[in-house]
């Protein structure tokens, strides 16, 4: 959303208006409070607005609302809002479920749905702890801590980014390709840049021209986990043992052994590729040392390095063959998944056709009976036509004889009295019609 689309920034050049928005009057004015809420979310895109209304990148985009950063982001001509304004706005954001503590988001994901978390937080918790605990659950505050000390996740921005990631996965990836590695252990440190890691997929989604891409390309890596948690909590993903699987919303799909097998194969291929690259570098090093020793006349040393290089090269060929086999296996796995989808399509098509046939009572016996009945009717009608044609034979007329008889007839003559009456009629006289006056003449006549 552009800054000009927000009521908060439309009067950015109006000192009197902005002074009111930056004052404690906001606490008692619902309209001004309402203008503040989308402005806080907008500030997370990392843009700074200038006096003329233009914007420029100034901060790193983030999904997190940090109380201590809002002062800098809303600084205007050296003036910042009074502190109670931010406290009030953050309180309203939390109360209206537009912001949530990161730690609470983890609990929310464990509940697998927002409604489950909301029910537990607003109904069950107050009954057990009293209404005082309700505020601490929603706002994430403690009686001994300053208000809004911890960062909040902006739910509108998070939802916007998650929609982009989920839609992209469903649009571009086959079902078996929507399983990603989330493990942050050392053994998985090389997964981040790979297409089978969730981070790698999110960064790739950040290269598109869609509005959410700016966040995905620039946000800190640690914030990507909030995207995964939100997808899980909204039932668009499942998470288990370091794996994340994106699924169509509400399908209830889970992570199966086949998904783990595909990811394990991806990790194995990555490990073999890495070791192959290192071994190739060792071969180049051994060959370089052999040539250098030969140039300096150290023949025995050169032969030793060359022998070592040949052994390494043989091992390199073996690993390349293994890598080729693994890549072929990966391709075959993808082919099998595609074939499974095709088989499922045939099964669905057969089921649909069977259902339609049963509904319409369509079968081979019914078709044979219908065609046989039609043939019987047509044969009977042909027999009727033949019988009627035989009965009309006595009425047959010779057309040639009829034509000769017609040509022999003489044309009829007019009666004598009609001929005499026509001859006695006088010739018609042509009378010339008077000329029609022109428009100018008619106007002159009317003016008299």
Say which range, 218-227, 282-291, 382-391, has the weakest mean pLDDT.
382-391
pLDDT of residue 129: 37
pTM higher than the cut 0.85: no
Band of residue 162 on the pLDDT scale cut at 50, 70, 90: very high
Exposure string (b/e) for 356-375, b if CB count within 10 Å is 16 or more? eeeeeeeeeeeeeeeeeeee
Judge whether 376 lies within some domain.
no
pLDDT of residue 391: 66
Counted domains in the chain: 3
Contacts of 406 (CB under 8 A, 6+ apart): none
Band of residue 206 on the pLDDT scale cut at 50, 70, 90: confident
Judge whether 247 lies within some domain.
yes
Question: Both 276 and 332 in a single domain?
Answer: yes
Question: Both 288 and 224 in a single domain?
Answer: no
Pick from 234, 255, 276: which residue ends a domain? 255
Q: Specify which residues 101 forms β-bridges with.
A: 152
d(C-alpha 346, C-alpha 340), whole Å: 10
pLDDT tens figures, 299-327: 888 889 899 989 999 998 999 998 899 88
**In angstroms, how far is CA 342 from the centroid of its own chain?**
23
Torsion angle defined by CA atoms of residues 429, 430, 431 and 434, in that order, rounded to the nearest 10 degrees: 170
Mean pLDDT of 84-99: 91
User: Which residue segment(s) compose the domain that 296 sits in?
Assistant: 259-337
d(C-alpha 103, C-alpha 107), whole Å: 7
Pick from 255, 279, 313: which residue ends a domain? 255
Pick from 255, 270, 303: which residue ends a domain? 255
Q: Which stretches of 35-185 are assigned E, i.e. beta strand?
A: 47-49, 55-57, 64-65, 99-101, 152-154, 179-181
Question: Both 274 and 302 in a single domain?
Answer: yes
Question: Both 9 and 90 in a single domain?
Answer: yes
Band of residue 428 on the pLDDT scale cut at 50, 70, 90: low
Mean pLDDT of 26-31: 88
Look at residue 179 and give its three-state secondary structure: strand
d(C-alpha 203, C-alpha 221), whole Å: 9
- DSSP secondary structure of 385-420: HHHHHHHTGGG---HHHHHHHHHHSPPP---HHHHH
User: CA 423, 427, 430: angle at the middle one, nearest 5?
Assistant: 160
User: CA 425, 430, 433: angle at the middle one, nearest 5?
Assistant: 145
Judge whether 367 lies within some domain.
no
Judge whether 352 lies within some domain.
no
Mean pLDDT of 267-290: 88
Q: State yes or no: pLDDT of 151 exceeds 80.
A: yes
Question: Both 277 and 296 in a single domain?
Answer: yes
Mean pLDDT of 68-74: 88
Q: State yes or no: pLDDT of 430 exceeds 90.
A: no
Q: Which stretches of 232-291 are assigned E, i.e. beta strand?
A: 237-240, 243-246
Judge whether 445 lies within some domain.
no
Residue from 250, 243, 208 nearest 228 by CA: 243
Highest-scoring range by mean pLDDT, 141-145, 253-257, 342-346, 414-418: 342-346
Residue with tokens 């800190």, as numbered in its chain:
220
End-to-end CA separation in angstroms for the chain? 77
CB 45 within 8 Å of CB 37: no
Band of residue 132 on the pLDDT scale cut at 50, 70, 90: very low
Question: Both 245 and 267 in a single domain?
Answer: no
Residue from 30, 41, 56, 58 nearest 5 by CA: 41
Question: Both 237 and 287 in a single domain?
Answer: no
Question: Both 233 and 269 in a single domain?
Answer: no
Judge whether 196 lies within some domain.
yes
The CA-based diameter of the chain, rounded to the nearest angstrom, is 150
Dihedral sign, Cα of residue 325, residue 327, residue 330, residue 336: negative
Mean pLDDT of 190-206: 73
Mean pLDDT of 421-436: 54
CB 251 within 8 Å of CB 94: no
Question: Both 81 and 16 in a single domain?
Answer: yes
pLDDT of residue 242: 80
Question: Both 91 and 2 in a single domain?
Answer: yes
Band of residue 209 on the pLDDT scale cut at 50, 70, 90: confident
Band of residue 166 on the pLDDT scale cut at 50, 70, 90: very high
Contacts of 28 (CB under 8 A, 6+ apart): none
Where is 202: in which H helix or E strand?
helix 198-205
Mean pLDDT of 384-402: 74
pLDDT tens figures, 336-377: 878 888 898 999 999 999 888 888 888 888 889 999 999 999
Q: State yes or no: pLDDT of 250 exceeds 70.
A: yes
Question: Both 169 and 250 in a single domain?
Answer: yes
Judge whether 108 lies within some domain.
no
Q: State yes or no: pLDDT of 182 exceeds 70.
A: yes
Say which range, 42-56, 242-256, 427-441, has the weakest mean pLDDT.
427-441
Mean pLDDT (the chain) is: 78
Residue from 170, 220, 185, 334 nearest 266 by CA: 334
Where is 316: in which H helix or E strand?
helix 299-360
d(C-alpha 254, C-alpha 251), whole Å: 9
Band of residue 145 on the pLDDT scale cut at 50, 70, 90: very low
CB 155 within 8 Å of CB 99: yes
Question: Both 304 and 328 in a single domain?
Answer: yes
Pairing of strands 179-181, 243-246: antiparallel
Judge whether 392 lies within some domain.
no
Where is 15: in which H helix or E strand?
helix 15-21
Pairing of strands 99-101, 243-246: unpaired
Q: What percent of the chain has pLDDT over 90?
A: 17
């Amino acid at each position: 959303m552009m800054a000009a689309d927000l009521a908060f920034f439309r009067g950015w050049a109006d000192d009197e208006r902005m002074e009111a928005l930056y004052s404690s009057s906001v606490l008692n004015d619902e309209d001004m409070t309402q203008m503040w809420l989308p402005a806080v979310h907008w500030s997370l895109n990392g843009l700074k607005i200038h006096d003329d209304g233009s914007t420029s990148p100034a901060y790193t985009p983030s999904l997190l609302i940090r109380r201590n950063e809002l002062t800098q982001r809303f600084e205007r001509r050296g003036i910042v809002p009074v502190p109670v304004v931010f406290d009030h706005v953050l309180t309203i954001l939390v109360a209206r479920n537009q912001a949530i503590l990161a730690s609470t988001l983890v609990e929310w994901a464990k509940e697998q749905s927002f409604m489950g978390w909301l029910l537990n937080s607003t109904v069950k918790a107050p009954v057990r702890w009293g209404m005082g605990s309700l505020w601490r659950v929603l706002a994430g505050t403690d009686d001994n801590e300053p208000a809004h000390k911890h960062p909040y996740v902006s739910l509108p921005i998070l939802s916007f980014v998650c929609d982009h990631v989920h839609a992209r996965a469903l649009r571009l990836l086959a079902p078996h390709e929507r399983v990603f590695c989330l493990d942050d252990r050392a053994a998985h440190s090389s997964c981040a840049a790979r297409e089978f890691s969730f981070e790698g997929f999110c960064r790739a989604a950040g290269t598109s021209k869609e509005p959410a891409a700016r966040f995905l390309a620039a946000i800190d890596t640690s914030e990507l986990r909030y995207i995964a948690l939100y997808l899980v909590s909204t039932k668009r993903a499942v998470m288990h043992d370091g794996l994340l699987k994106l699924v169509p919303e509400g399908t209830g799909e889970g992570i199966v052994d086949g998904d783990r097998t595909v990811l394990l194969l991806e990790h194995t291929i990555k490990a073999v590729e890495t070791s192959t690259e290192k071994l190739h570098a060792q071969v180049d090093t051994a060959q370089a040392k052999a040539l250098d020793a030969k140039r300096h006349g150290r023949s025995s040393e050169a032969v030793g390095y060359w022998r070592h290089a040949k052994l390494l090269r043989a091992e390199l060929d073996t690993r390349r063959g293994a890598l080729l086999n693994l890549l072929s296996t990966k391709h075959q796995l993808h082919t099998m998944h595609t074939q499974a989808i095709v088989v499922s399509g045939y099964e669905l098509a057969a089921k649909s056709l069977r259902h339609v046939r049963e509904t319409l009572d369509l079968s081979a016996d019914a078709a044979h009976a219908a065609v046989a009945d039609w043939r019987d009717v047509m044969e009977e009608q042909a027999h009727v036509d033949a019988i009627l044609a035989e009965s009309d034979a006595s009425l047959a007329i010779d057309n040639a004889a009829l034509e000769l008889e017609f040509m022999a007839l003489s044309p009829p003559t007019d009666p004598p009295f009609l001929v005499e009456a026509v001859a006695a009629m006088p010739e018609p006289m042509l009378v010339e019609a008077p000329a029609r006056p022109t428009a100018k003449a008619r106007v002159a006549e009317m003016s008299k």
